[in-house]
Chain A
Amino acid sequence: MNFAPLTLELLLAGLILIVFVVDLVSKNPKVLAGITFVGLTILFFLNLLHPWYGTTFQGTFVSNSFTGFLKGVFLLAGILVSLGSLSTAEEQYRGRVGEYYILLLFSLLGMLFVVSARDLVLFFVAFELMSIPLYILAAYQKDSEASIEAGLKLFIFGTFSSAILVMGLALLYGTTGSTRFDVLAQTLTEGEALSVLGFLLFLTGIGFKVAMVPFHMWVPDTYAGAPAPFVAFLSVAPKAAGFAILFIFFLQVFANLALPWKLVIAFLSGITMILGNLLAIPQTHLKRLLGYSGIAHIGYMLLGVAAGTDLAIAMVLFYFVAYVLANIGAFLFAETAIQNEGTDQLSALHGYAQRNPLLGLYMLIFLLSLGGIPFVVGFWAKLYVFLAALKAGYGLLVFLAAVLTVVALYYYLNVARQIYIEKPASNDPVRVPASIHFVLLISTLGTVLLGLYPKLIVGPALEIARAFVAGL
């Protein structure tokens, strides 16, 4: 048996064990966060420099440049969030910091497996390994009713959607008699009614996970109630995994099932963009606003899925990177506000740029990136996805997306206005924990650097997407 393609997963499992053992000896949050941060950073660079490509376990586990890129995105999110959670963990998770990081790493391990799985059973088990720790982490602020509510909502919606998903997968197995993706791709051909039902249930289940409209209703309350550093993770990493799953299933498993899935996705993309953007406008709390804006971003990325070309896949991959940096940054800014003011209400952010100019600048850059202003990475991400969709023939939808981007600028810049123009209520300096400051700095640098030189990611992403499409 060839274990080489599993190296990254095995190393991450090893890291979990290390954190587990260290937690028995030292309960110091700094030590635990440090080990997680350093371990994930090492894994990130190992994955970058020496990816273990290959296929093992009778072709049910695949590691290639496509999965390698995604694993890089997950690890990046893990690195930023492991450090970004430290100050919250120190203040609120006393005595259970180790478990916090262990659960975070378990979820990451699930993500690594889920994009490499080419077998329904492995896929579903990995999917649950990714999801279940998230339910617990959402409710980790046990003394906050909002956090418990967030966890419960995520749990109920999550398990319910998992049940729908597994029903769909069972039907796919039932109609073909195989759980392997390559066999499924060949046998799911004619219009067998139960395969169609399986497809619909699959789409619904994943729809809940990536929060596309009309399966988005858990997002606002969960994002508003759960601890902000965790939401930073929840809003990017599992979403990226969900999109990878969509690509793998649509382009491989359902490739020969004659279904108008592109039209379905295009339609869902449209309503997701519209609803996310419009509902974000009246929000008065930063986390809730970012929740709705996150739904809007899902809509933009779905545009790339609907296009389904190698160009579109590459641009969605690039979008993940842009989105991870800006969104994690914005949520950690929200966490800083919560730590200082006790609330993430927009009116509490008045004059933040005067009280802490550097913090204000970071947030401004994240907002510009999320809004898609030129020369920060978010602009290129949106532009490239729109162009790819335009080339695939979705002119009308791209027009809609462009209009909605302008609408989105209104609420993003409204946040910037609160931070920059409104008079501060007090002149106390805003305290930013060093750990969060470091993460904000990295995210800002990444956002600006990739904004000036997007080729750094776009070039490899194009190659990866071409290889992925060619290798189907």
Chain B
Amino acid sequence: MWIFWLIAIPLVLFALGVVLSKNLFRSTIYLGATLVLTALIYLLLHAELLGFIQILLYTGGVATLLVFAIMLTQRIVGEDITQQSRGLVGGAIASLAVLLILFFFLGSSQLDFSVRPYPENLNLALGKNLFVTYVLPFEVLSVLLLAAIIGAIVMARRDR
């Protein structure tokens, strides 16, 4: 249990840092830390695969891309981009409300929250799920990615 708190408290602090920091670059670094700590929570729940995917995709991919994006835009725009946090009071109230709702529903839940063991051959189970059970969503997902790429190019490209 103490390990959880050891992860959870810095996680919340870093998450607050993402929102409250005026410096966009720092926000990104905090975001990276938040994502790594979330991954640790997954590991704590014995969801090893999810934990490592989280680190690989979000910290390695998304956070790194964000850092690059900020650096490049700052060079193009020529000035530091600052982040403004307006409506802090409203945001705090809304977050608190969401927290209370979650507590209420989690508290009155009768589900069994004990950690269940992974299938013995994880790779086999994963492959079967990905390419047999969920093969159709998997294929539709690739179409979705194509649509998103085309959209991003259209938006970013200069008109000829």
- Interface residues in chain A, defined as those with a beta carbon under 8 Å from any beta carbon in chain B: 13, 57-58, 60-61, 94-96, 99, 102-103, 106, 109-110, 113, 119, 121-122, 124-126, 128-129, 132-133, 135-136, 139-140, 142, 174-175, 192-194, 196-197
In chain B, residues 4-37, which have Cβ atoms closer than 8 Å to a Cβ of chain A?
A: none
Check A121 against B137 for contact (C-beta < 8 Å).
yes
In chain B, residues 139-156, which have Cβ atoms closer than 8 Å to a Cβ of chain A?
A: 140-141, 143-144, 146-148, 150-151, 153-155
Q: A142 vs B133: C-alpha distance in the bound complex, in angstroms?
A: 41
Check A103 against B150 for contact (C-beta < 8 Å).
yes
List, in ascending order, chain B residues with CB within 8 A of A196's CB.
Answer: 105
Of the candidate stretches B42-50, B65-73, B83-91, B107-115, the one touching chain A is: B107-115
Closest Cβ of chain B to A67, distance in Å, is 15
Check A106 against B154 for contact (C-beta < 8 Å).
no
Question: Within the complex, which residue of A103, A121, A122 is in contact with B147, where a contact is CB–CB below 8 Å?
Answer: A103
List, in ascending order, chain B residues with CB within 8 A of A121's CB.
Answer: 134, 137
Closest Cβ of chain A to B40, distance in Å, is 20
Interface residues in B, total, Cβ within 8 A: 30
Chief secondary structure at chain B's binding surface: helix
Closest Cβ of chain A to B62, distance in Å, is 14
Q: At the interface, yes or no: B160 with Cβ under 8 Å from chain A? A: yes
Nearest B residue to A92 by beta-carbon distance? B159
Known A-B contacts A13-B143, A106-B147, A125-B141; A136 and B136 likewise in contact (beta carbons under 8 Å): no
Q: A13 vs B110: C-alpha distance in the bound complex, in angstroms?
A: 45
Check B140 against A113 for contact (C-beta < 8 Å).
yes
List, in ascending order, chain B residues with CB within 8 A of A96's CB.
Answer: 154, 157, 159
Nearest B residue to A128 by beta-carbon distance? B144
Q: A109 vs B147: C-alpha distance in the bound complex, in angstroms?
A: 11
What's the count of A-B pairs with C-beta under 8 Å? 84
Q: A193 vs B147: C-alpha distance in the bound complex, in angstroms?
A: 37
Closest Cβ of chain B to A16, distance in Å, is 8
Check A57 against B105 for contact (C-beta < 8 Å).
no
Check B136 against A122 for contact (C-beta < 8 Å).
yes
Check B144 against A197 for contact (C-beta < 8 Å).
no
Q: A109 vs B134: C-alpha distance in the bound complex, in angstroms?
A: 18
List, in ascending order, chain B residues with CB within 8 A of A60's CB.
Answer: 136
Supply 14 further A-B pairs (C-beta < 8 A) apart from A103-B151, A128-B144.
Answer: A13-B143, A57-B136, A60-B136, A61-B136, A94-B160, A96-B154, A103-B154, A106-B146, A125-B140, A126-B137, A132-B148, A136-B154, A136-B155, A197-B102
Q: A124 vs B138: C-alpha distance in the bound complex, in angstroms?
A: 11
Check B137 against A122 for contact (C-beta < 8 Å).
yes
- Interface residues in chain B, defined as those with a beta carbon under 8 Å from any beta carbon in chain A: 101-102, 104-111, 133-137, 140-141, 143-144, 146-148, 150-151, 153-155, 157, 159-160
Check B135 against A129 for contact (C-beta < 8 Å).
no
Q: A57 vs B105: C-alpha distance in the bound complex, in angstroms?
A: 34
Check B140 against A126 for contact (C-beta < 8 Å).
yes
Check B140 against A122 for contact (C-beta < 8 Å).
yes
Nearest A residue to B148 by beta-carbon distance? A132
The residue in B146, B153, B154, B155 that gathers the most chain A C-beta atoms within 10 A of its C-beta is: B154
Check A142 against B159 for contact (C-beta < 8 Å).
yes
Closest Cβ of chain B to A295, distance in Å, is 23
Closest Cβ of chain B to A170, distance in Å, is 12
Check B105 against A197 for contact (C-beta < 8 Å).
yes
List, in ascending order, chain A residues with CB within 8 A of B159's CB.
Answer: 94-96, 142
Closest Cβ of chain A to B147, distance in Å, is 4
Closest Cβ of chain A to B124, distance in Å, is 18
Q: A106 vs B134: C-alpha distance in the bound complex, in angstroms?
A: 20
Q: A133 vs B150: C-alpha distance in the bound complex, in angstroms?
A: 9
Closest 6 CB pairs of A and B: A136-B151, A106-B147, A193-B108, A197-B105, A122-B137, A121-B137
Closest Cβ of chain B to A143, distance in Å, is 8
Closest Cβ of chain B to A183, distance in Å, is 12
